[in-house]
Amino acid sequence: MHLFISYFKKSPAFFLAIIIIVVFEVSLHFIPNLHYYDGTGSFFVYLKRDLVENSKEDFDILLLGDSRSLSLMGVKGDESHPSLYNLSLPAAGPWYYKYLLKKYLKYHKKPKLIVWSADAFVLKKEKTGKFNLNPEIWNEFKHRLLNLFSYSETLEQYEGRELFFISKEYLATSLYSVRYRQVFESMIGARLSTLMSGETAMYIRNKSIASLVQNSNGQINLGDFFFAPEGTSESETKKFLEIYKEGEINSEPLEQFIEFCRENELQVVEMNLPKAEGINSTPYYTKGKQIMMEMTKKYDNVTYMEFDTMHYPVSYFGESIHYSTSGAKVLNKEFLEKVYPRLVEEINAKK
């Protein structure tokens, strides 16, 4: 203590700065709903994590996928209609399905049906590599995965160099100022009155997203939130038709997920979604469908399902990947009227 006091006297500013930093970092842990001020991407992941860990509601059908399948409406269940929750996450990579489902099973009753509805794009070989070998992939997915799982849950997901790599990333986020740096970024330049009231632009946006997700059982159509200049969809589709003339698929993440479901006696529906005109017929997506079909032969707990119309006009897409508002409307009409009843039939058939 004496030593500390003597050092403090030598450089009070140095120690005051340390004290301020420590107090600030600790106090951040006690701010309620801090995530509501975070970037929308991170906040959205938090919402899903919160649902998995804290919701009292159990769902009959659980849909897992990516930013495209996120457009599918959930269904509030009743006695004659099984509930469906859309647990899809945008840009979370190809490996998270198994672990998120495992986490869900830890807190909830087993669902009657699992729908895997990710785009074959997420299985692209270069997207499924090791994070430590290709940190660019990790940079793409990290803020999702770091928010989705606790460190202890992560421990079982990786090993060796991969685990070391991920652990370092967790270490960085152990400081809340780093973890929630977007919160502070968004506050810079905001009016004092706004900060005092807590109603920052990010907070208002996140609150409305939380309400949308709550009402739609997990659904949110990303195409409603961005504006692409006219002609983007056409030009992008043209580009993708070229890109998908080739490409290798790594089916391991899908297979790992299916095996996990089988171990847990869960029925899986692989659901293929409509895409912009021609995309589903490209060699890459044809291969993707083939792999899904192979899974149905290899595993008795898997069935394949697709929409009546698998090719949508490009005008149904914001930028050729995500459904525009009108595209999502058509998609959900068919989903609720035709596909959902088939999912219900699937449940009933396995009873």
Partner 1 sequence: MVFNSIDFLLFFPVVYIIYILLRKREQNFLLLIASYFFYGYWDYRYLSLLFISTIVDYIASIGIENNPNDTNKKKIYLGLSILSNLSILGFFKYYNFFTLSAKAALDSVGLSINPILLNFALPLGISFYTFQTMSYTIDVYKGQLKPAKNFFDFALYVSFFPQLVAGPIERATNLLPQILKERTITFTEVERGTFLILLGFFKKVYVADNIAILIDPIFMDKTASGAMVAFAIIGHFFQLYGDFAGYSDIARGLSKLMGFELMRNFDHPILSRSVGDFWRRWHISFMSWLRDYVYFNLGDKNSSEMRKNINNLIVFFLSGLWHGANWTFVLWGSFCGLANLVYKYVSPYLPGMDENRGKVYNVVMHVLGTIATVIVISFPLVFFRSSSVEMSFIHLHSLFTNFGDLEPKILDKLVKVLFFLVAIEIHQYIKKDEFSLFSIPVVPRTFVYVSLFYGILILGNFNKNAFIYFVF
Q: List interacting residues with partner 1 (CB under 8 A).
A: 7, 10-14, 16-17, 20-21, 139, 168-169, 171-172, 175, 177-178, 181, 184-185, 188
Is 121:155 a contact under the CB 8 Å cutoff?
Answer: no
Strand order across the beta sheet in which 61-64 lies: 84-86, 61-64, 113-116, 268-272, 302-306
Name all contacts of 157-161 with Cβ < 8 Å and 24+ positions apart. Answer: 157/95, 157/99, 161/130, 161/132
Radius of gyration of the chain (CA): 23
Q: How far apart are the C-alpha atoms of 270 and 285, rounded to whole Å?
A: 14
Question: What residues pair up with 61 in beta bridges, in sequence order?
Answer: 84, 113
Residue 159 or residue 185: which is nearer to partner 1 going by CB?
A: 185
